[in-house]
Amino acid sequence: MSRIETSEYSSHFEPYVSLTRGETVNELISNHSPYLMDFIERIPDEKSSFSYALGKWNVKEVLQHIIDMERVFAYRALSIARGVKEDLPGVDQDQFASFQRSKYRAFSDLQEEFLAMQADYNILFRSFDKEALMNTGLVAGNKTTCRSWIFISFGHTLYHIKLLKDRYGIVG
């Protein structure tokens, strides 16, 4: 199976997809998952409340955002893999962020949730056969494939880890 085509997802997600390496789900998992899990696990608790500028999310909020959006992306992949033809809704990340309660959670709980979620999604994504990966569906009116959401999922997390390194000074 060749690498994902730009016709399989909205151009809005290109910055994420462009960060991924690999052509298959197994390559995405082996190329990125160990790095992502290690990076998140090693963020020190004392950095969790840091924000690089006024009005920007702190590290806990960024991690909660990653978790929330990865759940959305996995739901989209699963729905399309299972043949759902209804147009799945878009998500307003700012609305999600305004209702998230990460400030009341221990940072170690957020890290544990990310690690468990990543491991779970690796199993889910590997369970999709070639036909399921190429199933098409609609998300916010855009035609898309199941496999596109796997690329988007990994790319989204890579994007935010790059921000955590570049703007938050987190070493990984």
| Structure confidence at residue 96 (pLDDT) | 83
The set of residues, in sequence order, having a beta carbon less than 8 Å from that of 18 and lying 6+ positions away, is: 155
Helix axes 146-166, 25-42, angle to 10 degrees: 30
pLDDT at 29 over 90: yes
| Structure confidence at residue 1 (pLDDT) | 73
If we measure between CA atoms, which residue out of 84, 67, 68, 86 comes closest to residue 146? 84
CA 94 from centre of chain: 16
pLDDT tens digit string along 109-128?
999 999 999 999 999 999 99
> What's the pLDDT band for 33 if we cut at 50, 70, 90?
very high
First to last CA, the chain: 32
| Structure confidence at residue 93 (pLDDT) | 87
> What's the pLDDT band for 85 if we cut at 50, 70, 90?
very high
Domains and CATH numbers, the chain: 6-166 (1.20.120.450)
* Cα Rg of the chain, angstroms: 16
| Structure confidence at residue 25 (pLDDT) | 96
**How long a stretch of residues is the chain?**
172
pLDDT tens digit string along 51-74?
999 999 999 999 999 999 999 999
| Structure confidence at residue 108 (pLDDT) | 97
CB atoms under 10 Å from CB of 12, counted, come to 11
pLDDT at 172 over 80: no
| Structure confidence at residue 113 (pLDDT) | 97
The pTM score is: 0.95
Q: What average pLDDT score do residues 157-165 get? A: 98
Which helix (H) or strand (E) segment is 158 a member of? helix 146-166
| Structure confidence at residue 66 (pLDDT) | 97
Q: Are 148 and 95 in contact (CB under 8 A)?
A: no
